[in-house]
Amino acid sequence: MVWLPLQGPFIWLLAAAAEKALPLVERPPILAALTTRGNSIQLYSHLTGAAQPLTKLDCTNLHLSVVASLALALSVAAKRWSARARVCGFALLLVFFVMLAVCIVQLQWAAESHASARLGITLYTAREKEFLDWAIRKSSFAMVYLAPALLFLASYLSVWSAAEPAEAGRSGKRGARKPGSISSSGTSWRNVFVALAGCAGAGLLLLATRGDGDGTACVEGLRKIVALNPSSARAHYSLALDLEKEGRLDEALDSYRTTLRLRPEFVEARFGEGNIYFRRGDYAQAERCYGEVLERQPGNADARCNLGTMFLNRGEFDLAARSYEDVLRVDPNHASAHKGLGEALLRLHRQCEALPHLERSTQLDQRLAVDATLLANISILRSTCERE
């Protein structure tokens, strides 16, 4: 019963430590982040991005091993609560690091199994998968048998060795003790526990100070996945997204083109290709790509909004206004479309029609709500429209 309220924090701490440790065992990293929900750990990968978890790992069985280990550690009789506290502390420390190793292996195996079954993509090489298969079997043995047995043995030896000086003290009545000598093994065990705790703290500090990885690490991880799955459009598309995010537009465009060569109907890749041309200022090619996206997905608000921005940049304000209005018919809460329509209407000298759209954009997007230039324009328009 005592363990029940501690389950959630234990899984959270386990996930936090595993997230820090993963970059040390994955070179380049495949799993990007971990979050917890109850007794589950959600896995995020560069393959699916930061918004959508790849899969999740149920950690319910880990609690059974923790409780079993603590029960065995406390099964040895000890008269003092201080001795029991030391046993519990040592047990939790050992169990945590065993569980951390088990958790990392299970996370990698869960990611590989899900990606292979659902996405048709392998995340690790044949040699790495062979090692994971071996590690799953060995870590299960360590979690179920080895850790509890070691804790029971350590607890027994601790209590047994502590009993000897007490017995000697009773038989020798007032036996002399040399100054500076260690008469109780309790002190020895306390020192062992402090040393282990110090090592654990140093290890966690080392992991905490290690960088969480940058965009280059993400790209390298995705390059590994692409190398393992050269015919996977999904893998090439994920790599293209990260390359675009890093500003490596030429490489991103090549990856989008490879994606479309493998799967011509991949609409998201066509949209990404259009975004690259848009950022380069090649509006003719961008218009072609967005047009193809809208042929397949007429309700794609982002593609139509980008078309509106392209028309706005080219000075075609009527076309821009019409594009933004089409977006708002599909998605009335599209902040960028409200802002773009307001700017297009301003260029068409329809100031009072522009005002509500500019105001609405600041209500929908917090970034626009602190845009000093936009807020100043809104203030001027309010004064102008009130006089009219």
For domain 229-297, the CATH architecture is Alpha Horseshoe (1.25)
So what's the pLDDT on residue 99?
82
Highest-confidence range of 20-29, 79-88, 172-181, by mean pLDDT? 20-29
For 299-310, the pLDDT digits (tens) are: 899 999 999 999
So what's the pLDDT on residue 211?
42
* Mean pLDDT across 243-247: 92
Summary mean pLDDT of the chain = 81
* Mean pLDDT across 33-43: 90
So what's the pLDDT on residue 28?
86
For 319-366, the pLDDT digits (tens) are: 999 999 999 999 999 999 999 999 999 999 999 999 999 999 999 999
pLDDT band with cut points at 50, 70 and 90 for residue 259: very high
pLDDT at 311 over 90: yes
**Does residue 33 sit in helix, strand or coil?**
strand
pLDDT at 66 over 90: no
So what's the pLDDT on residue 8?
81
Contacts of 283-287 spanning 24+ positions with Cβ under 8 A: 283/310, 283/313, 283/314, 286/310
What proportion of the chain, given as a percentage, has pLDDT over 70?
A: 71
Question: Distance (Å, rounded) from C-alpha 14 to C-alpha 105?
Answer: 13
Q: Which helix (H) or strand (E) holds 56?
A: strand 55-58
So what's the pLDDT on residue 26?
86
Provide the b/e sequence for 72-94 (b: ≥16 CB within 10 Å): bbbebebeeeebbebbeebbbeb
Spatial contact of 94 and 151, defined as CB atoms under 8 Å apart? yes
Question: Distance (Å, rounded) from C-alpha 255 to C-alpha 235?
Answer: 9
So what's the pLDDT on residue 213?
46
So what's the pLDDT on residue 183?
44
* Mean pLDDT across 64-81: 62
Q: Please report, as a single letter, which amino acid is at residue 307.
A: L
* Mean pLDDT across 68-94: 63
pTM of the model: 0.74
For 146-160, the pLDDT digits (tens) are: 656 665 565 555 555
Spatial contact of 155 and 85, defined as CB atoms under 8 Å apart? no
pLDDT at 210 over 70: no
* Mean pLDDT across 357-376: 93
Spatial contact of 28 and 224, defined as CB atoms under 8 Å apart? yes
pLDDT at 297 over 70: yes
What proportion of the chain, given as a percentage, has pLDDT over 90?
A: 49
The residues spanned by each domain of the chain are: 4-160, 229-297, 299-388
So what's the pLDDT on residue 157?
57
So what's the pLDDT on residue 24?
84
Shared fold status for 229-297 and 299-388? yes
Question: Distance (Å, rounded) from C-alpha 242 to C-alpha 252?
Answer: 8
- Residue 372 vs residue 164, higher pLDDT: 372
* Mean pLDDT across 50-72: 75
pLDDT at 180 over 70: no
* Mean pLDDT across 183-198: 51
Spatial contact of 128 and 136, defined as CB atoms under 8 Å apart? no
Chain centroid to CA 360: how far?
A: 33
For 90-149, the pLDDT digits (tens) are: 666 777 787 888 889 999 999 999 999 998 999 999 999 999 988 887 776 666 556 566
So what's the pLDDT on residue 73?
57
pLDDT at 367 over 70: yes
User: Counting Cβ atoms within 10 Å, is residue 242 exposed (0-12), middle (13-18) or buried (19+)?
Assistant: buried
Topology of the domain covering 299-388? 1.25.40
What residues are paired with 41 via a beta bridge?
36, 57
pLDDT at 76 over 60: no
pLDDT band with cut points at 50, 70 and 90 for residue 224: very high
